[in-house]
Amino acid sequence: MTAPADESEMDLETDLDDADNEEAEGGKKKQKMNPKKLAAYIGIGLVGLLVILGPIAYFMGWVHAMLGIQQEKSTALLELGKPVNFELPLIKADLKTGQCKSPFLRARFDVQLSSADVKRIETSQDKLIEQVIMHLRNQERQDLVGKAGADKLRFDLINIVNTVIAPARIHGIIYKEFVLQ
């Protein structure tokens, strides 16, 4: 081999020999990532994380808590009238049956509603009683027996009353008398 002319050729030969030795050993030379690219990837990742987590932190109130921002807490007071018990007249209805004996129901109940809605139920009382009697005539005695039957009837009556006096709504129904024969 001839002597290299200058140092740059010598460095080039050394680098080529090192690369040949690494390839001969079967190992690949690791390439180091450019620090500028690494910083760019980290920056993009942080911006993406901020875009995703920022709105979540804002709407959960964490941003205000971290910054020490105190929001004024206000309370709203609603003046609701006491519920009024409106007593409906005695209702008697024959129940549906397939036998000769005709079972009937005699019931008296109070409707609990707000005082502002009493006038609405007074004006539609006749229609309400008619709807309740029609519903009762479609019921069988077995459907109304026991606590489960009384609760189902209460649920049905609440729906009927709410339908008749809409858009007003009632709070509940209390049985004063419930005789099933």
> What is the tens place of the pLDDT at every residue in 66-82?
787 777 778 888 776 67
The Cα–Cα gap between 143 and 164 comes to 23
Q: Which amino acid is at 47?
A: V
The Cα–Cα gap between 147 and 153 comes to 10
% of the chain with per-residue pLDDT over 70: 81
Superfamily of domain 83-180 in the CATH hierarchy? Band 7 domain (3.30.479.30)
What pLDDT is recorded for position 73? Answer: 78
Q: Which amino acid is at 12?
A: L
pLDDT category of residue 10 using cuts at 50, 70 and 90 = low
- Helix/strand/coil for 102: coil
> What is the tens place of the pLDDT at every residue in 121-176?
888 888 988 998 888 888 888 888 888 888 888 899 889 988 988 888 888 888 88
What pLDDT is recorded for position 52? Answer: 92
pLDDT of 45 above 90: yes
Mention every residue, 6+ apart, whose C-beta is less than 8 A from residue 29.
Answer: 19, 22
Nearest to 135 by CA among 169, 93, 107: 93
Q: What is the mean pLDDT of the chain?
A: 79
Q: Average pLDDT in the 42-70 region?
A: 86
More confident residue, 180 or 10: 180
Query: Residue ranges per domain, the chain?
Result: 30-73, 83-180
Residue 50 half-sphere exposure toward CB, CA atoms < 13 A: 6
What pLDDT is recorded for position 135? Answer: 87
What pLDDT is recorded for position 18? Answer: 53
Six-digit token string for 29: 């030379």
The Cα–Cα gap between 171 and 178 comes to 20
Q: Average pLDDT in the 104-123 region?
A: 86
More confident residue, 169 or 27: 169
